[in-house]
């Protein structure tokens, strides 16, 4: 049952829905949380508009869906270390998360989910793209699926393209206890623990090669998979406003923060919800 106040409107064929009729700052009842989670599992990423959440309320909301964990490289807000500022200032040229990726796939327990809320947005630009990794897997040929089902990917936090996207944030706000590099091995095709569906689980931001293969040997197939994952029919695009909140399933989606707002500021706050070991 969907509570009468909720309206769930898909925004694209592949994934994504806007949910209205809900104030996330309130103490939501169990039925509303359950309906929201069902919509999230069905649409992979859900969006809310005009939400006024203090850091404490934002953190409390995320905890209704799972255990909240800290991002490994950047300090959180003062008094709220598990809320990460995601910032691009007007003089900065590179944005945080500006490439297709799955969040922190280089961790042994990559996130189940991420919540992101907008605090300041440019007058135009700064949208985020999301992609459906169920579809990325299911549209591969049977032979390619058989090949990938037996492969393991090596993921690193030190892959060059993704390290550039966090340079400005680390310069002034790095966590001193962070490792120089995090590395984790995960199956190339993972099974979603709640839906049972298979999803393609490599990404251009963190995947460096296949286990027991060199980077050179792995590169042609990875190049193909990275391009395949970005096909327009797998995606949706979200236009941010102040108070917009996105909540995505990190186990079966990828996202890309578009850097098309030079000399403008964009300020977001992010919370990561802990996941389990992919299988």
| Residues noted as catalytic | 101, 103, 255, 270
Task: Count the residues in the chain.
Answer: 279
Separation of alpha carbons 75 and 68, rounded Å: 15
> What are the tokens at 101?
């990726």
> What are the tokens at 65?
């869906």
- Residue pair 279/202 in contact (Cβ under 8 Å)? The answer is no
User: CA angle, 244 as apex, 24 and 77 as ends, to 5°?
Assistant: 80
Separation of alpha carbons 137 and 187, rounded Å: 13
DSSP letters spanning the chain = ---TT-EEEE-SSSS-EEEES--TTS---HHHHHHHHHHHHHHSEEEE-S----HHHHHHHHHTTS-EE--SSB--BTTBTTEEEEEE-TT--S-TT-SSB-TTTTSSS--SEEEEEEEE--SS---EEEEEHHHHHHTS-HHHHHHHHT-EEEEETT-HHHHHHTHHHHHHHB-TT--S--EEEEESEEE-TTT--EEE---TTTEEEETTS-HHHHHHHHHHHHHHHT-GGGEEEE---TT-EEEEETTTEEEEE----TT--EEEEEEEE------
């Amino acid at each position: 049952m969907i509570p009468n106040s909720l309206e769930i409107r898909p925004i694209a064929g592949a994934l994504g829905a806007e949910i209205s009729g809900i104030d996330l700052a309130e103490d939501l009842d169990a039925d509303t949380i359950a309906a929201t989670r069902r919509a999230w599992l069905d649409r992979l990423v859900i969006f809310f508009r005009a939400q006024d959440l203090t850091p404490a309320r934002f953190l409390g909301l995320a905890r209704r869906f799972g255990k909240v964990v800290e991002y490994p490289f950047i300090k959180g807000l003062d008094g709220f270390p598990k809320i990460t500022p995601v910032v691009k200032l007007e003089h900065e040229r590179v944005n945080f998360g500006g490439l297709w990726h799955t969040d922190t796939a280089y961790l042994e327990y990559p996130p189940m989910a991420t919540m992101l809320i907008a605090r300041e947005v440019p007058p135009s630009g700064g949208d985020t793209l999301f992609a459906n990794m169920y579809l990325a897997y299911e549209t591969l040929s049977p032979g390619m699926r058989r090949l990938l089902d037996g492969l393991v990917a090596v993921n690193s936090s030190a892959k060059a393209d993704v390290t550039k996207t966090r340079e400005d944030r680390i310069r002034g706000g790095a966590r001193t206890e962070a490792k120089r590099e995090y590395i984790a091995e995960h199956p190339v095709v993972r099974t979603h623990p709640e839906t049972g569906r298979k999803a393609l689980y490599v990404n251009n931001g963190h995947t460096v090669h296949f286990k027991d293969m060199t980077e050179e040997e792995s590169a042609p197939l990875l190049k193909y998979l990275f391009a395949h994952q970005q096909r327009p029919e797998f995606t949706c695009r979200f236009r941010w406003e102040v108070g917009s909140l996105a909540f995505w399933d990190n186990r079966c989606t990828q996202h890309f923060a578009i850097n098309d707002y030079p000399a403008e500021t964009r300020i977001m706050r992010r919370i990561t919800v802990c996941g389990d070991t992919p299988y």
